[in-house]
Structure 1
């Protein structure tokens, strides 16, 4: 009873391997049949689980609602059931738990629903979910539960088609439930329909222009009337093209540019007056609009995504669709391309995926840390006792080397567990007005000896910055991680450039190295947890840095050119900025 009161528990019950109660702090608790207790505790008593969440239970005496968890007994068969006040768990779950994350994710545009479901039913769900099919009654959900990789399907929700993504939610290497995310298809279908409509309208318009040109040659006596009609159609076409948000580029059969609208000028930094009439390959040297391929192969291209670097150095993702323009005798008279900037859409998709991963890790973090740290502590204590109490007479130096290495590796594993906890269950920020330049200077003092040893020259240029509201210790982790990564990238020496500036409501920190750079394939993965290209790296450093910057309301960007180096830019909202 003293343990119950000190830890603010409702009750503690101990059962043997057959499900019979050994000890209970619940006064006058009605005795449950052994079969009912065994069924309730079967995941523990059968040896399948070390921890089993019983969830919310009604009090047998009509008292407060309980939230119970069962754990396996350490030294003998059986289970220990601990219960706390259910209202406290519900309140905590709504404010900081996975329930809060689910409700927050469900409010994002384009998301229809989010839920966690086990074989018994719905565990947690967004507010618009009232009922869902059980896993046992849905072949697709049973299939998803049996496979580790994410599954997807088109299904119906409240009379609308949605794209449902399903991922098993593993606990102790066994999938016990599913994470289900429903994405609206309305925006996607509107975008596809709009693109097809735009290509079709443009093809019709250019076909009409060709027909009018032929008519002008054949019927000379109606030149005035046809000329007026032609000008009217050109005016309409030009108005449509100029007001389109997508870039439009058209060429004739010889490959000379005939149309280039305002959106194309802005996207590709090309002057229309200088581009019209020139050969397409002279203006678009890398066939950015895929018109050279369309003319050569005579086939339509739909929705091909291509990376593109602007004149200012920004990276974009462009969706290119082309159509060939048929001539009077069936031969192609040219081609037209419609190019859309889908960079923001892809960034949003990556953000959703990253949130999914962090949501799953957040729910598992505490359990993993507990299960891993206890054996590590036991190993560390055993290694220490071996050094102090069991020192052999022979091979003493080798024995001490082995025990020292053992304790060192235990410490490294503890550090990895701590980093995992920091990523999945971050502490609350302690914001205070701070001098960002001064903070960066403190970190530089720490890494300058390492820079000298690596033959790396440090070039710092600090702009004038007002104080900014940040958590100093967390932001130091970000700066230190980025600078050390830069130093480790320059194995043969080089130059580390540090720049700060203020503008557009943000304080910016730019860290640039002259290392080998990052490949385009790896550039998309640098912020993924456990992704690393370094020997001995954990792959958590950049993930934690990204999480810290986002929690400050900022963002972190990366740009790299293989063979030239990498630039990380951290943007933190200035003091008082939204």
Structure 2
């Protein structure tokens, strides 16, 4: 197979075919590169034109806003002076000389006060021909103040009739609807308006030779323009322009006009939320054509170079083809198996003959709570070395990892490497959860069998016991003895009392044997534990016990609250007995995949290992006054809630009960 593969790769026809195919690919690539470059240049020009147009819009907006701001400042200054003069006038403190002084100090051109009928009452300057004309027209100009329609009138810029200059005029109403009129020299303001207008602004931008035209137009036609803009469509007839104007977005196009190719970008001009029209920027496409020609030339040169380079280097590349192909396949296979190795659910650890870890997958690091193989080797190397020394194929092993007992099913394989012999592979499966389920199933079976037996035996014993109790009571009443009568009566009472005690034990059997109906309700887990804490707070304070609750969030659960409360009451009372004084009882709860895991721990005396598996058995107790039903009932309630319970303990190091319950319990019994 290998010879056939190599023969196929080095055939001359194959070499020639590949070379021709490569040449064709180079040619196609060159064409594609040309088209792609052209698109990218067009896109770049579109972005640049949009940027330039955006700068024009911003400059226009800023210029108008700056002009309006200056105009507003001047207007406010004049109004402030007018209000001050109004105060003097209404308090009979105003004179012509006073007005002259105010005009001089505040650089005001003229100040006049007119009566309601239009006659001048006060003035900062002698009456000029213009002011005579203004006075004659004052009734018309100031009629809104005289008629009481407004209190402030911004007359604005007026051209002087005496000289080639401009004035900015405002008026303020005073008492008896008289008017205070102030004006200043507005020549600089007019010059500013001329300099910041659209015409000069557009002309500045079109000084660039690549800008054909720059136009501001609206529905009525062109408002301001600069450059060569003959035979351009208007806003009303062009769907392209209408689209940009209506959507207020940048749009671009290339079209021919006067035998010139134009790249045009357009956008709406909006000032103070008002659409004034549209700005059109026409750019020459000559730079595009020049760049495109350069791209063609460069592409041709590159293609020729690539073909020549291909002829020279193809043989060398072809010689390496086998090696590269095999290397690639090897890496592919290596990557494939590495992915399998890293993502397999079982833990896999490879040891060298020097008893060092050579490889470890993610599952193993997670199982042994290690960041990398070095930390794993540091903490658990002795454990694995012991396993290497033992002769086995499959072994079940118990180990403590971070103070948690784990049950592991370990498979060991020995294989020989070509260079180094005796390498060891451990495949490890964490069967802790299965062990817990297995133990709980055994306990459940035992409890179920004992429950059935208890129920059966209790019913069988109960009737004879009732008969004995009745007969004993009757004998004590109806019969007398000739000797030891008091002793006889005491004995009958003892018999009756013991029968009642046996009957009480049978009642306990029957209560335990009956199924526990589940009545679920939704409640807050945090509130539930806080209520338990409050219930036992006096005992905790009395014995100096710290009750610590840690929940990652306030989870809502749906359980039988009464029965679950029985569970934790049993666990709390057992922990109180275990820690005695100055201890800690902790509750840790968090949600995992719609299940709630609760760890109930104490720092008490712990439980001996030889009785740890017996604590859930019915009637098993280590307490002098215990009845042995507490943890059996706990086991039964957790089982009825489709949950699991497990216990770990160390002497003088505390006990931890781990409960896993579904967040929402489905009711099985009705």
TM-score (norm 2): 0.42
Larger helix fraction of residues: 2
TM-score in terms of structure 1 length: 0.47
For CA contacts below 8 A with separation 6 or more, give which structure has more relative contact order: 2
